[in-house]
Amino acid sequence: MSNIAFIGLGNMGGPMAVNLIKKGHDVVGFDLSEEALKILVSEGGQVAESAVAAAKDADVVISMLPSGKHVADLYSEEFINSLKPNTLLIDSSTIDAVTARTVAELAVSRGCRMIDAPVSGGTAGAKAGTLTFIVGGKQDDYEKARPILKCMGQNIFHAGESGAGQVAKICNNMLLAIHMIGTSEAINLGVKHGLNPQILSEIMQKSSGKNWSLDVYNPYPGVMENAPASRNYSGGFAVDLMTKDLGLAAEAGLETKTSTPLGNTALNLYRMWSESGNGKTDFSSIIQFLNRDL
Ligand code: NAD
């Protein structure tokens, strides 16, 4: 069993840390939110007063932070210099590949190991321990991390070298945004024509429109009891985080002169929805942008 420092105990990091505790690891957490720290303690974890204090004796550091800026700030020279030699650093935040590679290079230059390991599967997957991890980094670091990642996830992929996990993750999230918007459009159209959203969703789930948003994350309130749509779009994956990921995809498209017209449209829709005061709501609330009656 390992001593694990967990930095960022929000909607995703909180339940991920709890799954590590359940599998017998010693977890010391740090978050800026007192509430998040209280929850970790109630689940059998320990907390520290700073990221450095949480990580100084750790064998493994896991971070689950909002954006690349937070990740770059955490993995500062001061932080990395305070770690034990050979500490394995796992950043599971969704960030740009350039920042992921930059912090990994710094970590390696100071005698640590580092992988990017963003996740897919949402807050339900984080709670159930069924996340998909998409790893970028060296083969032996991937293998060292696998048993730890297995405590929090079901599918563990090695996408390639440092940063490759982040590239694969933003491709996935661009597709997720597109099919969430498409699913919202389709349900909305059917409902406006008098169809029952539940029955229409079941029909499309068994037809060629089937996709993840329909299967586990239906955006129409009341269709799926456990989906954020049925709790007023609270919890889940925030509109602002999806907007960030679509921005990362757009930047990645520019870098390589790749056309991503639907990704760019999705970015604009999510940006407008965020700017109208909905940044903190779950990303499936985009259906309300298309149907103001909801
Ligand atoms: P969140 O906002 O719920 O959690 C982030 C946590 O980080 C918060 O508790 C915040 O207080 C903490 N934090 C911020 N700065 C910190 C610092 N300097 N030190 C310590 N803690 C700090 O976000 P989330 O939904 O858990 O998402 C985290 C990451 O996971 C993001 O990169 C997101 O894109 C990605 N992600 C989210 C989902 C999802 O469904 N929510 C799914 C896949 C990936």
Question: Do 17 and 45 contact (CB within 8 A), yes or no?
Answer: yes
> What is the 198 CA–ligand 1 centroid distance (Å)?
31
* 119 Cβ inside 6 Å of ligand 1: yes
> What is the 56 CA–ligand 1 centroid distance (Å)?
22
Enumerate residue ranges in the chain where pLDDT < 50.
Answer: none
pLDDT at 196: 98
Residue of minimum CA distance from atom 18 in ligand 1: 70
Indicate the residue type of 274: S
* 123 Cβ inside 6 Å of ligand 1: yes
* 100 Cβ inside 6 Å of ligand 1: no
pLDDT at 293: 87
* 279 Cβ inside 6 Å of ligand 1: no
pLDDT at 35: 97
Catalytic, 169? Answer: yes
DSSP 11: T
Question: Do 16 and 92 contact (CB within 8 A), yes or no?
Answer: yes
Residue closest to 20 by CA, chosen among 133, 149, 156? 149
* 66 Cβ inside 6 Å of ligand 1: yes
* Active-site choice (144, 150, 169, 206): 169
Ligand 1 pocket: which of 28, 32, 50, 123 to mutate (most atoms <8 Å of CB)?
32
pLDDT at 1: 85
Other C-beta atoms within 10 Å of 27: how many? 27
Q: pLDDT (tens digit, 9 = 90+) per residue, 105-159?
A: 999 999 999 999 999 998 989 999 999 999 999 999 999 999 999 999 999 999 9
For residue 243, CA distances in Å to 11, 216, 218 come to 17, 21, 19
- Above pLDDT 90, what percent of the chain? 96
Name all domains of the chain by residue range, CATH numbers in brackets.
3-161 (3.40.50.720), 167-290 (1.10.1040.10)
pLDDT at 81: 96
The residue to which tokens 């604009």 are assigned: 268
> What is the 10 CA–ligand 1 centroid distance (Å)?
5
ipTM greater than cut 0.95 = yes
Please state the three-class secondary structure of 87-130 as a single string.
CEEEECCCCCHHHHHHHHHHHHHCCCEEEECCEECHHHHHHHCC
Residue 126 half-sphere exposure toward CB, CA atoms < 13 A: 21
pLDDT at 294: 86
pLDDT at 292: 86
